Structure 1
């Protein structure tokens, strides 16, 4: 059950790792033996890297938003002198 690599699917690499491979193909966790296999794995890892970077950006934005909300609440809560 061989599937083409889909860059839109961030879990393709993990799914491939856990699938049972045909006896003629080495398991996904063994080092690749051909240049094509290395290029394919590099492409998969770049997709995962970009997906993780996007999630880190969204997390950083959420943290900054909460910090701004806290600062606004703190400013409103302090009595004027």
Structure 2
């Protein structure tokens, strides 16, 4: 640990990490963006969101189908003569 570390300050270690990882002139988490850049990134994220939503729907449908098959097999086992 460096001499700047203060255990009483909960963000000291985080601040030290960020300062070491980025040059002093760079903003690590929120780079300046133009309005066009923001619109482009929003559009990209909405495409990703819709893709993930579609995949979640397909996954849910597959889970429900397997649960129905499991219930059908269970009911066939109960009704089968021995």
Cα displacement (A) at 1:62: 0.1
Instruction: Give the root-mean-square deviation of aligned CA atoms.
Output: 1.9
Cα displacement (A) at 1:31: 2.9
| Structure 1 unaligned spans of 5+ | 1-28
Count of aligned pairs: 53
Question: What SS class does the counterpart of residue 75 from structure 1 fall into?
Answer: helix
Higher helix fraction (1 or 2): 2
Cα displacement (A) at 1:30: 6.0
Q: Which has the higher contact order (CA 8 A, sep 6+)?
A: 1
Q: What's the TM-score, normalizing by structure 1?
A: 0.59
CA shift in 2, pair 1:69/1:36, >3 Å: same
Which of structures 1 and 2 has the bigger CA Rg?
2
Q: What's the TM-score, normalizing by structure 2?
A: 0.58
Task: Tell me how far apart the structure 1 counterparts of residues 36 and 30 of structure 2 sit (CA, whole Å).
Answer: 15
CA shift in 2, pair 1:32/1:57, >3 Å: farther
User: What CA deviation, in whole Å up to 9, does each residue of 1:27-60 have, x standing for no partner?
Assistant: xx86351000000000000000000000000000
